[in-house]
Amino acid sequence: MAEIYDQMNEKTKEKIQSVFLQLLEDRHFNKISVQTIAQAAGINRGTFYLHYLDKYDLLDRMEASLLEGLENHLRQLQPGPLLEEAEKGAISFQAVGVFHYIGQHEEWFRVFLGEHNQSGFHRRLKDFFVRHFLDKIIANPDFFKTATVPADYLSAFATSAFLGLIEQWLDNGLAESPAEMADMYIRIIFFIRNLDGRQ
């Protein structure tokens, strides 16, 4: 019985999240109310509040869930093997996995990065990539050995390029495959790495 109840709760949460994304695609976050979400989901406000404190809690938890999944994929991305495979002309399987995840959650990324959402997600995603770049890429001895640009500026430049790559892919309707996007990502890393001209 408890399992059936849990399944019903999960389905209700999925419905709430689904209609919230649909609403956010058409109107600004500030114009969306809990009542609007509840009506679109076919539930009452009390049911909504069983799952979320308010619309801000709903947004925060959805964004956090999206970034947590992305982190799980980026955690598997190892700069050393990525460099070795790229120099042999191969594309990192883990890098492909990152773009596969983004493709699977295309609607979430597109809507949260869209003009109707609050500006916070774009910043959260950029900060997320900055931390990843600093911790994994710049800290790796095989990358940026003699870079003369401070690490924080280098990572800001690189992550802006990577975020732009993702946004363009979303704008293009995922026209390229995850493997093609991973290849572009790796080429951008190598391009930035060689900008110094002393590698």
pLDDT at 199: 44
| DSSP of 61-94 | HHHHHHHHHHHHHHTT--HHHHHHHHHTTPPPHH
Q: Which two tokens stand for residue 192?
A: 């930035």
Asked whether the beta carbons of 138 and 154 are under 8 A apart, the reply is yes
What does residue 7 show for φ and ψ, rounded to 5 degrees?
-65, -40
**Which of the four pLDDT bands, split at 50, 70 and 90, describes residue 138?**
low
- Per-residue confidence (pLDDT) for residue 157, from 0 to 100: 84
Average pLDDT over residues 121-127: 89
For residue range 144-197, list pLDDT tens digits in order. Answer: 666 677 778 878 888 888 899 999 999 999 999 999 999 888 888 777 767 654
**21-75 pLDDT tens trace:** 999 999 999 999 999 999 999 999 999 999 999 999 999 999 999 999 999 988 8
> What pLDDT shows up at residue 171?
95
The torsion angles phi and psi of 194, rounded to 5 degrees, stand at -95, 0
- Residue 170 CB-half CA count within 13 A: 19
Instruction: Check residue 65 and give its pLDDT.
Output: 95
- Using CA atoms, how far residue 124 sits from 50, 85, 86, 128, 163, in Å, is 27, 30, 29, 6, 11
Convert the pLDDT of each residue in 64-123 to its tens digit.
999 999 999 888 877 777 777 777 777 888 889 999 999 999 999 999 998 888 768 988
Identify the pLDDT of residue 5: 53
Please answer whether residues 56 and 145 qualify as being in contact, where contact means their C-beta atoms are separated by less than 8 angstroms. no
In order of 1, 21, 32, 69, the CA distances from 110 in angstroms are: 37, 10, 18, 16
